[in-house]
Structure 1
């Protein structure tokens, strides 16, 4: 199964002519999952090869506007492009995010008299202490969502921290387990870990031929982990003819943060194939980054090192750092402090000797996540 990540917006604070506000899509065969939805995300989607109608799940890391303001408009645009005569009823779009997201979306849709042609459900994560300064914690009266549901809204879950694993389990299905983890920011922020389940190993066709087994139902039973008995009475177990399982891929996408909270995040993200981590400002602005709850390349690299990540993708850049494409056409590119390549150099310096690859996120960059080999 193919898997890739497309970055729709890689800038911080606001959309600009150079970078869109925060948004990226994790795509697998048949589905697209949107992580954050800053202002202008629907326009970025139109400029990309992705289709907004394929989005089945949305994950919002925190309630700052540059990660959230595009969501009501995107849902309305998707609805406008729905086919009301479709033979199959539209699937529910599941939206995950911090407490307060349910009320934000409900009020935005109700006040704008927006009707959707598909159902949606908001599943809220209950923040814990230590995720933000005291002034960043929202008053429960603001986040309360006990009022009436929007006409197209289905009841969502309220998800609490699992104290045993020190993370939030959002859902599990036949292909993936998705968990959320706590981050420290000016307001409670979350990261998301998408873990693909291991895939059964390939059948050793040559060995099967030697045993006299022809393609058919017995192949399927062996691949599903069952032993089979041949006409000769010989019992063939899966371990005799099935190659080792293919380990599932792991993608971790962190929201704005200056640190992880608790022990769970590093455990959950351990061995990630791809870690998307913000690097808003260069090392020379470390104090300013910390003051605003953000990270520098060295801070992102420290998380990648602790998690033994294969690929670290730096993301969420201050608008002072212009994309590489715009720099090629700009006479102002003097290789100085505002050169986005300096952020990459700083992360690579901190990860020297680890084998971790550092990638700079750019709007419309698509990063494949290849299958692992046993």
Structure 2
């Protein structure tokens, strides 16, 4: 069991000659691809990568700041080219994101008169009052007024919060192979993190024991792995618990949007095999980071430790922090952010920390 993660954009705020803005691709073993955020230029980055645009089936938007969503209309049109000629006439692109995303995408496609060779739908996460900043009403925007549906649009769901004690969870979907839940994280506008969980797999079959019992390899092995009892011709009943090992826990990848405090979704991130967390500014700029709703490397490391993440990947870097190279001040490179995160982990921590770069590919297994 594995997933491949490709970082298409790792910059904050706006693209630079060195980095594009937020977009991350997650590729599954069946070849399908999900995108997380879609900043300006994402379609160009996608074409530079090994990710096949025609395999993108779902897009998740953490929040509606431009560096996470301005590339979405153009990318959807590009996917239209990649999806041309698909045998399935009912092919559907699913987009998930905060309230207002449906209006944004619908109006962008309608005003540009962009027709698509496939259907799309936007499922909106309904924020809770705790996600809105104090000055939210100073800039009135109607997030409901989306206008008439686009010709290729199928009306999506409004996904309400499910509250349990003081925890908020948005259940996006589960298809038996993978599921996605979203959690609240604090930023200057409603922002979400997504926990992607692959289903557990059956344990290993003890083929040697089965041969001892008189059951040769064949279709009945599959039945035992599915949890079904098998009866041999002589009447012996073989129960799965006798010949199948414990199930293997599915992988979990948690991908956070911009945040100065992701603690409200710690329950969803707990036990992540990989955690993607922003580290916009270095620790010495913590006050400035908090002012703009962002995190520092030590803040990211602290959350990863509390959540018990196996691997922490930093991304969403300020333009100040460039890749190391000739003429670059060593104190203004991503390496500084990486070292601060590592130093912040408690002694004995087994969490592995790395920093993303554009077009970096990573396998999590």
Tell me the TM-score normalized by structure 1. Answer: 0.93
The CA distance in 2 between the partners of 1:5 and 1:30, in whole Å, is: 12
The residue that corresponds to 1:72 in the other structure is: 73
Residue 181 of structure 1, aligned match among 177, 180, 183: 183
Q: 1:1-374 maps to which residues of 2 (within 5 A)?
A: 1-28=1-28, 29-84=30-85, 86-136=86-136, 141-145=141-145, 147-164=147-164, 166-260=168-262, 262=264, 265-323=265-323, 327-328=324-325, 330-333=326-329, 335-336=330-331, 338-352=332-346, 353-370=348-365
The CA distance in 1 between the partners of 2:20 and 2:122, in whole Å, is: 25
Tell me the C-alpha RMSD between the 2 structures.
1.5
Q: How many residues matched?
A: 361
After superposing the two structures, state which structure 1 stretch, 222-231 or 286-295, moved more: 222-231
On the 8 A contact 1:137/1:188 being kept in 2, the answer is no
Task: Report the alpha carbon displacement of residue 48 of structure 1 after superposing the two structures with TM.
Answer: 0.5
On the 8 A contact 2:106/2:146 being kept in 1, the answer is no
Q: What secondary structure does 1:185 align onto? A: coil
Task: Report the alpha carbon displacement of residue 91 of structure 1 after superposing the two structures with TM.
Answer: 1.3
Task: Report the alpha carbon displacement of residue 261 of structure 1 after superposing the two structures with TM.
Answer: 5.5
The CA distance in 2 between the partners of 1:277 and 1:204, in whole Å, is: 40
The CA distance in 2 between the partners of 1:43 and 1:232, in whole Å, is: 64
The CA distance in 2 between the partners of 1:79 and 1:35, in whole Å, is: 18
Task: Report the alpha carbon displacement of residue 145 of structure 1 after superposing the two structures with TM.
Answer: 3.8
On the 8 A contact 1:130/1:261 being kept in 2, the answer is no
The CA distance in 2 between the partners of 1:26 and 1:81, in whole Å, is: 18
Q: Deviations over 1:260-280 (max 9, x none)?
A: 263xx1111111000000000
Task: Report the alpha carbon displacement of residue 241 of structure 1 after superposing the two structures with TM.
Answer: 1.1
After superposing the two structures, state which structure 1 stretch, 169-178 or 142-151, moved more: 142-151
Task: Return closer, same or farther for 1:81/1:250 CA change in 2, 3 Å cut-off.
Answer: closer
Task: Return closer, same or farther for 1:261/1:140 CA change in 2, 3 Å cut-off.
Answer: farther
Task: Report the alpha carbon displacement of residue 137 of structure 1 after superposing the two structures with TM.
Answer: 6.1
Q: Deviations over 1:267-303 (max 9, x none)?
A: 1111100000000000011111000000001111111
Alignment gaps of 5+ in structure 1: none
Task: Return closer, same or farther for 1:215/1:229 CA change in 2, 3 Å cut-off.
Answer: same
The CA distance in 2 between the partners of 1:110 and 1:169, in whole Å, is: 29
After superposing the two structures, state which structure 1 stretch, 287-296 or 86-95, moved more: 86-95
Alignment gaps of 5+ in structure 2: none
Task: Report the alpha carbon displacement of residue 233 of structure 1 after superposing the two structures with TM.
Answer: 2.1
Tell me the TM-score normalized by structure 2. Answer: 0.95
